[in-house]
Amino acid sequence: MSDENHSYNPAQIEPRWQQYWLERKTFRTPNPGEAGFDPAKPKYYILDMFPYPSGAGLHVGHPEGYTATDVMARYKRMRGFNVLHPMGWDAFGLPAEQYAIQTGTHPRETTAKNVEVFRRQIRQLGFSYDWNREIDTTDPAYFRWTQWIFLKLYEKGLAYMAEVPVNWCEALGTVLANEEVIDGKSERGGHPVTRLMLRQWMLKITAYADRLLDDLDGLDWPEPIKLMQRNWIGKSEGAEVDFELDAEAAGKAKAAGLDGKLRVYTTRPDTLYGATFMVLAPEHPLVRHITAPDRKAGVAAYAEKAARETEITRTDDTREKTGVFTGAHAINPVNGERVPVWIADYVMMGYGTGAIMAVPAHDTRDHEFACKFGLPVREVVSGGENVQKAAWTGDGILVNSPEINGLGVPDAKAKITAFLERKGAGKKAVRYKLRDWLFSRQRYWGEPIPVLHDVQTGDLVPLSPDDLPLTLPELADFKPTGDPAGPLVKAKEWLVLDHGGRKFRRETNTMPQWAGSSWYFLRFIDPRNDREAWSKEAENYWMPVDLYVGGAEHAVLHLLYSRFWHKVFFDLGLVHTKEPFSRLFNQGLILGEDGQKMSKSRGNVVNPEQVVEQAGADSLRLFELFMGPLDQMKPWSTSGVAGVRRFLDRVWRVAIDDRSGALHSSVKDMPVPDDLDRLLSRTVKKVAEDIENLRFNTAISAMMELVNDLTGRTERPRRALETLTLILAPFAPHIGEELWSRLGHQESLAYEPFPAWSEAHLVDATATLVVQVNGKLRARLEVPRGSTEEAVKQLALADVSVARAVDGKPFRKVIFVPDKILNLVV
């Protein structure tokens, strides 16, 4: 016998099984109608948020979600499902472009290289993706359909161009969507963002606001994500109220062709009697006309300053209130009171009507404003302590309000709104915070927008679907031009074209990063289709996604955009479900060993490749899930990895003799003893249920207990080891396949049925039986379940207190209820 070491060696077995799976296409998933497709099986579509292939490669946060979905995918295959489990690359994006600007390397090259690294790293972890379905959003064969979708949106009037206030990021040389601006800075890079009016492409997501809101109810999604979407859509119900301008201001407004009315939006029409002044957004079109001559300079200066501030700054409630009086007045429609009209930057032009009635007694911002400028505060809802000191925003009974005195807030709202409607001075209104989606970027590395501009007429002419894909022109210099045209204007030949005597200029803005990911889950179902984006048949079978796992940071970006597109597809008859993702799960962030967020600068980043080298992919996978509940934030731990590695060493040793490499001599073809059989049933059931509920850490603990038990045995029935191998395999598939083959199986275990458990085994083996003598409790006995009356009687009489009570007397009557009670009457 050689003294070669046959202990568990992942470095040897893991690459071999990865090769095996790839070569045999073990995880290839046929579509309906294709060879090998089994229509009798139910389907399960399980999706990861596909990564942006950054230059830094994979970090340990990626495999957390990917391992979770992989366990589920492998488990579902064993439970007899047709499983769709694909992977691809969300590869348009700023980093590759910025690298191109610095180095001149074409983003296509950088992207291809990064994809290469990601693919290798992901394959190294043994995920069971169907690599035949790999997609790349930057591939013309893919983005041709992204452009096709854009044409559909355009056709439906959902894509339009408009002069809009935008978030302009000087450092990035592009505009950004509201969702991409966080605290006044760009989401990527943290650069300052300013406001500018530009003509841009917009998508009419607001037309879907109600459906995006209502359909959240039916989704199995984490509540915090649903709440964030609800808040982002921000539906509010209230009233529009018209205040007449006083005669002088009204005259000036009318002379300028404007209405002599000041329309406000309020969610609290019940407080109308408490309106003591009005505030207009500084950009409000009335401002220029109604401002008194002696106030014009001050008002203009204030407006100019406000225009330069971002919306985020302006809505920051902690800032001290500022504003100026216009000199004009308006008339309150319910009491004829004359109130002053101010401008202030806390009123936004883009929300409601860009004007408010200020009720300082019941609105905190208005209260601060009134205090600062000495404006009156009038209580109209009782319940506050002293509204002169602080606004009362809660419920109460209406006071100082002749039409509605004595009513509660909801009744007062309804009554006053009806009153305004009768007077023709107002009506019910609904508002949303959601804005249309700014869809153009001044960038190179994105999907070209397939539209031409007629140079003479300025008309927009969409390309024909037959002209797609419209590919990117080659450029030598990717630098932003600093103007709204973007770098594509540099492609002189690509830019202009003559057609039928007309001269056209191509649209030079590209689509945002989010375009390709708004529909990729639909391409996965039919990725090589070159006649359509996806076939109806494939869509009917695979959609919706049954489980979607990814980070919570996409709550109001990708997860809202893709729901929007999906609803458009639904209206076009392209998909049969209203929602794309039935169940969503957010994995928690993995922190560095120091408990801090991983970052290059802190030097606490864990590289999965190194972990694989030291402990093996199966250990990495197990540890990713053993660390704690999937949805929680948790720190990395090197000793934790070593711990799960020791567990796998033990798994190996219960089956394999590590001196010879043969099956361990304790492994026997023998019936499974009763106690072990019960433990097996309990473990299998626990693991199955935990997987279904994404509670992987407790499933792993249960398997550890089973392995402890097996380690302590000198005889290990083959069936017990096979069961262990099969339930462990979804988590640690390499060691799973290796043991399975060493246990004598020729085929991969990927499609072996998941072990069954027996419910009968789950009930306790023993029962606690009560023994009475003449109705008096004398003993409690632990007996094997199903013990006979005779056996129980023997046991009972052996008990001292029972024997004493019976005292050798004959039984007059014996009452016996199996597993429950023995009553001896003497």
| Member of 149, 250, 347, 739 binding ligand ANZ (CB under 6 A) | 347
State yes or no: residue 362 binds ligand ANZ (CB under 6 A): yes
CA atoms within 13 A on the CB side of 690: 25
What are phi and psi for residue 73, nearest 5 degrees?
A: -60, -45
State yes or no: residue 265 binds ligand ANZ (CB under 6 A): yes
C-beta of 208: minimal distance to ligand ANZ in Å?
19
| Member of 78, 356, 404, 749 binding ligand ANZ (CB under 6 A) | 356
- The sign of the torsion formed by the CA atoms of 215, 217, 219, 223 equals positive
C-beta of 517: minimal distance to ligand ANZ in Å?
30
Give the list of residues 6+ apart from residue 64 with CB closer than 8 angstroms, or none.
587, 588, 590, 624, 625, 630
State yes or no: residue 368 binds ligand ANZ (CB under 6 A): no
Work out whether strand 194-203 and strand 437-438 pair parallel, antiparallel, or are unpaired: antiparallel
Query: Does residue 272 contact residue 425 with C-beta atoms inside 8 Å?
Result: no
| Member of 63, 107, 352, 608 binding ligand ANZ (CB under 6 A) | 352
Q: Secondary structure of the chain: what % helix, strand, coil (to 5)? A: 40, 20, 40
| Tokens of residue 176, six digits | 């950004």
| Member of 136, 283, 363, 579 binding ligand ANZ (CB under 6 A) | 363
Stretch that binds ligand ANZ, among 107-115, 344-352, 420-428, 654-662 (CB under 6 A): 344-352
State yes or no: residue 401 binds ligand ANZ (CB under 6 A): no
How big is the site for ligand ANZ, counted in residues (CB under 6 A)?
Answer: 19
| Member of 98, 194, 267, 823 binding ligand ANZ (CB under 6 A) | 267
Q: For residues 295 and 433, which CB has a smaller minimum distance to ligand ANZ in the complex? A: 433
Read off the DSSP letter of residue 709.
H
**Burial (CB count within 10 angstroms: exposed 0-12, middle 13-18, buried 19+), residue 343:** buried
| Member of 53, 86, 354, 640 binding ligand ANZ (CB under 6 A) | 354
State yes or no: residue 60 binds ligand ANZ (CB under 6 A): no
HEC sequence for 400-429: CCCCCCCCEHHHHHHHHHHHHHHHCCEEEE
Stretch that binds ligand ANZ, among 25-33, 294-302, 351-359, 528-536 (CB under 6 A): 351-359
| Tokens of residue 594, six digits | 């120091």
C-beta of 531: minimal distance to ligand ANZ in Å?
47
How far apart (Å, rounded) are the C-alpha atoms in residues 129 and 797? Answer: 65
Interacting residues with ligand ANZ between 213 and 252 (CB under 6 A): 236
User: Can you state the angle between helices 10-24 and 733-742, rounded to 10 degrees?
Assistant: 90
Q: For residues 268 and 566, which CB has a smaller minimum distance to ligand ANZ in the complex? A: 268
C-beta of 354: minimal distance to ligand ANZ in Å?
5
Report which of 583, 578, 562, 590 is spatially closest to residue 179, judged by C-alpha positions: 562
State yes or no: residue 268 binds ligand ANZ (CB under 6 A): yes
Q: How far lies 630's CA from each of 143, 463, 606, 623, 627, in Å?
A: 34, 46, 18, 11, 8
Interacting residues with ligand ANZ between 402 and 431 (CB under 6 A): 431
From residue 379 to residue 398, the character string flagging contacts with ligand ANZ as x (rule: CB under 6 A) and all else as - is --------------------
C-beta of 312: minimal distance to ligand ANZ in Å?
13
CB atoms within 10 A of CB 203: 25
C-beta of 396: minimal distance to ligand ANZ in Å?
11
At residue 733, what is the residue type? Answer: P
Q: For residues 68 and 241, which CB has a smaller minimum distance to ligand ANZ in the complex? A: 241
Read off the DSSP letter of residue 271.
G
State yes or no: residue 359 binds ligand ANZ (CB under 6 A): yes
Q: How far lies 265's CA from each of 5, 273, 279, 389, 427, in Å?
A: 79, 15, 11, 26, 10
C-beta of 348: minimal distance to ligand ANZ in Å?
4
State yes or no: residue 698 binds ligand ANZ (CB under 6 A): no
C-beta of 264: minimal distance to ligand ANZ in Å?
7
Report which of 722, 627, 805 is spatially closest to residue 63, judged by C-alpha positions: 627
State yes or no: residue 310 binds ligand ANZ (CB under 6 A): no
C-beta of 427: minimal distance to ligand ANZ in Å?
15
C-beta of 290: minimal distance to ligand ANZ in Å?
18
Residues that bind ligand ANZ (CB under 6 A): 236, 265-268, 271, 281, 346-348, 351-352, 354, 356-357, 359, 362-363, 431
